[in-house]
Amino acid sequence: MPVNARIVGVGSYLPEQRLKNADLERMVDTSDEWIVTRTGIRERRLAAPDQATSHLGAIAARRALETSELEVEDIELLIVATSTPDMFFPSSACLIQDAIGLSCPAYDLNAACTGFIYALQSAVTAIESGRYQRVLVVGADTMTRHIDFTDRGTCVLFGDGAGAVVLEASDEPGVLGITLGSDGSGWEMLMVPAGGSAAPATVERIAEHQHQVKMSGNEVFKFAVRVIPRATKQALEASGLGLSDLDWLIPHQANQRIITAAAERLGMPEDRVFSHVAITGNTSAASIPLALDDLYTSGRLVPGDTLALVGFGAGLTWGAAVLRWSLARPDEED
Ligand SMILES: CC(C)(COP(=O)(O)OP(=O)(O)OC[C@H]1O[C@@H](n2cnc3c(N)ncnc32)[C@H](O)[C@@H]1OP(=O)(O)O)[C@@H](O)C(=O)NCCC(=O)NCCS
């Protein structure tokens, strides 16, 4: 009997402080009307001054462990998807491990906004190999720490947050198929030019905002609308399923126009495509597990549902996973 990897716990965390479009109107030359019509975003969350990526991730991880009803000692591997770690090293995974009291191996993985799907693939492979039974996967980012709040083209888009899942080996179907992709020739479309080994931080570079996110918005938009349907179809094919088998599509929450255009191309009915980008903005690697947890806690995910998670981001990277859901609705748990 082949081993399957199944999600047995899910949790998330959004910091308290809200940054509304009206607040951004006071910071840059923009308007609530422009932001809502071009992106669908109304507000996003900001990590508190004493919160870094690992703090958000640790809260989401604890919540995922609670829903799984497993103990910290049951977890054998921790993978944290982030492109905004607390510091270059140690990894945010080690900091989360320390915060929640895990004693297993822990590492960070960076595939930008696609990080959670990449981490899911790593966790599934680890379980299917027979080496690990229970893996905790966290997606956490504090994008607002790397945003240029004088650049209206990027500062309206991003927010902070974290999401997590616990995966366990099972005889029952769980993650049915995953597809991943990258195209490094698109590296310049979305990046933070300075602060790394290519261009270490200097007073001049910081004054020029080179340590903050630079993006070719239009290019990324077109890439996203193309890649979401393609990756979703590939993951469905890898699962031996078709579009009509899907109960839910959970796309990376970057922009409502991207979500709507990609879902239309795919032919997925709007009421089966989850979006809460209006209240989160783009939380990068946290976006998909945050959306998954919101859908789960709202009681709309039913055991037996088939769902596709699909992400895209800097790199360029993309990925999709098809899952058979098995967690009971939160109000039905004993
Ligand atoms: C960034 C994005 C919202 C811009 O929307 P757009 O419809 O493509 O707008 P454009 O970039 O063509 O800009 C149109 C105009 O609006 C202006 N503009 C950009 N941001 C603005 C803002 N916040 N408020 C007001 N005007 C703005 C531009 O300066 C431009 O003005 P111009 O015509 O005078 O030069 C959109 O391209 C996008 O969402 N791209 C994908 C980004 C993304 O998801 N990144 C993360 C991937 S993981």
**Which pLDDT tens digit goes with each residue over 21-34?**
999 999 999 999 99
Handedness of CA 214, 154, 114, 112 (dihedral sign): positive
Q: Is 282 a catalytic residue?
A: yes
| Res 144: pLDDT | 98
Degrees, nearest 5: CA angle 310-245-2: 80
* Spacing, Cα 135 to ligand 1 middle (Å): 39
Percent of the chain clearing pLDDT 90 (strictly above): 97
Q: What's residue 331's pLDDT?
A: 76
* Kind plus residue range of the DSSP H or E element containing 108: strand 106-109
Among protein residues, the one whose CA lies closest to atom 7 of ligand 1: 38
Q: Is 209 a catalytic residue?
A: no
Amino acid, single-letter form, for residue 296? Y
Judged against a pLDDT cut of 90, whether residue 10 lies above it is answered with: yes
Provide the pLDDT confidence category of residue 333 given band limits of 50, 70 and 90.
Answer: low
**Ligand 1 site-directed mutation target among 117, 182, 218, 227, most atoms within 8 Å of CB:** 218
What local confidence, expressed as pLDDT, does residue 185 receive?
97
**Full DSSP string of 27-82:** TSS--HHHHHHHH---EEEE--TT--HHHHHHHHHHHHHHHHT--GGG--EEEEE-
Q: Tell me the mean pLDDT in the region 186-198.
A: 97
- In angstroms, the CA 11 to CA 24 distance is 29
Q: Which atom belonging to ligand 1 lies closest to the Cα atom of 252?
A: 48
What's residue 1's pLDDT?
62
**What residues contact 250, with CB distance under 8 A and at least 6 apart?**
274, 288, 291, 292, 295, 307, 308, 309, 310
Mean pLDDT of 125-154: 97
Of all residues in the chain, the percent with pLDDT exceeding 70 is: 99
Cα distances (angstroms) measured from residue 316 to each of 113, 145, 196: 10, 21, 18
Report whether residue 95 contacts ligand 1, using a CB cutoff of 6 Å. no
> What is the CA(272)–ligand 1 centre distance, in A?
27
Size of the chain in residues: 334
From CA 191, how far away is CA 188, in angstroms rounded? 6
- Give yes or no for residue 277 CB within 6 A of ligand 1: no
- Section 182-208 average pLDDT: 97
Is 133's C-beta closer than 6 angstroms to any atom of ligand 1?
A: no
Report which secondary-structure segment, H or E, holds 316.
Answer: none
Nearest ligand 1 atom to the CA of 152 is 23
Average pLDDT, stretch 297-310? Answer: 96
Set 110, 113, 155, 211: catalytic member: 113
Q: Is 146 a catalytic residue?
A: no
Both tokens of residue 263? 């879902």
pLDDT score at 150: 96
What value does the mean pLDDT of the chain take? 97
Element (H, E) at 323: strand 317-324
Query: Could you report the per-residue pLDDT of 59-93, keeping only the tens digit for each?
Result: 999 999 999 999 999 999 999 999 999 999 999 99
Q: Is the CB of 186 under 6 A from ligand 1?
A: no
- The answer, yes or no, to whether residue 332 has pLDDT greater than 90, is no
CA 187–ligand 1 middle distance (angstroms) = 19
Tokens 């992709």 sit on residue:
181
How many angstroms is it from 217 CA to the middle of ligand 1? 6
Q: Residue 173 is encoded by which pair of tokens?
A: 């179907």
